[in-house]
């Protein structure tokens, strides 16, 4: 990674990583299948959403063989996230209160251990928009705006594959009010955000380039 960063050739590295995305998908699938036996029928539905998010995230990261994540790193993305760790945690706590006690950027993604508690309801879905706005605002304070722009895109990209759009549309129709469309439950977006931050910290599958 460090070998290619000074020359801006990180796409060479991520081309190798993205060639392994099916292995990553299989790993997540095996994990969710193992957990499913411990969940009730309603919670098993979240397994499908986890796979949808995984596919969406891999598609985003590996677009044009990793151009986006290479840009993120070359623009100081990992350093930006590291410098804003506490602010991102504060965003989560301000938005979700007691739902979030910590963000584990270095270890197991936060939220997967709370898999059975994920919910998709109007309140949770609206809170995701608040979290997105708060996180992006904090990242915009970094010297380069690219990490904030890419994280905003990540939020939008993964929100498309979860149920909140329909939930909020139905809620707005029932109340006669308009609501900004969001598509993901609280702990799901936190878990995915933690995964992205792990990626940003170079927590990749080992690869030789």
Q: What is the pLDDT along the chain (209 residues), one digit of tens a residue?
A: 555 555 555 666 677 777 877 888 888 888 878 877 777 776 677 777 778 888 888 888 888 877 788 788 888 888 998 899 889 888 888 887 655 555 444 444 444 444 445 566 777 778 888 888 999 999 999 999 999 999 998 888 877 777 777 776 777 677 655 444 433 455 555 555 555 555 544 444 344 44
Q: What is the pLDDT of residue 78?
A: 87
Q: What's the rounded Cα separation, in Å, for the pair 135 and 45?
A: 28
Do 148 and 79 meet the contact criterion of CB atoms below 8 Å apart? no
Q: Is the separation of the CB atoms in 186 and 85 below 8 Å?
A: no
What's the CA dihedral at 118, 98, 136, 117 to 10 degrees? -10
Is residue 95 within 8 Å of 134, Cβ to Cβ?
A: yes
Q: Outline where DSSP puts E strands in 3-130.
A: none
The total of other beta-carbon atoms located within 10 Å of residue 72's CB is 27
pLDDT number for residue 148: 94
């Amino acid at each position: 990674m460090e070998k290619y960063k000074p020359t801006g050739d990180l796409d060479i590295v991520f081309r190798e990583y993205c060639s392994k995305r099916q292995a990553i998908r299989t790993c997540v699938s095996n994990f969710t299948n193992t957990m499913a036996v411990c969940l009730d029928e309603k919670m098993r539905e979240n397994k499908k959403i986890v796979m949808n998010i995984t596919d969406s995230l891999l598609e985003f990261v590996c677009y044009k063989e990793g151009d986006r994540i290479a840009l993120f790193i070359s623009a100081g993305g990992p350093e930006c996230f590291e410098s804003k760790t506490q602010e991102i945690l504060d965003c989560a706590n301000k938005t979700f209160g007691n739902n979030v006690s910590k963000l584990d950027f270095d270890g197991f993604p936060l939220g997967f251990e709370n898999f059975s508690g994920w919910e998709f309801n109007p309140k949770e879905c609206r809170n995701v928009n608040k979290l997105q706005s708060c996180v992006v605002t904090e990242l915009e304070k970094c010297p380069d705006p690219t990490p904030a722009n890419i994280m905003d895109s990540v939020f939008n990209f993964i929100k498309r594959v979860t149920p909140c759009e329909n939930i909020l549309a139905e809620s707005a129709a029932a109340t006669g009010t308009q609501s900004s469309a969001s598509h993901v439950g609280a702990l799901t977006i936190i878990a995915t955000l933690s995964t992205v931050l792990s990626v940003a910290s170079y927590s990749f599958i080992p690869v030789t380039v």
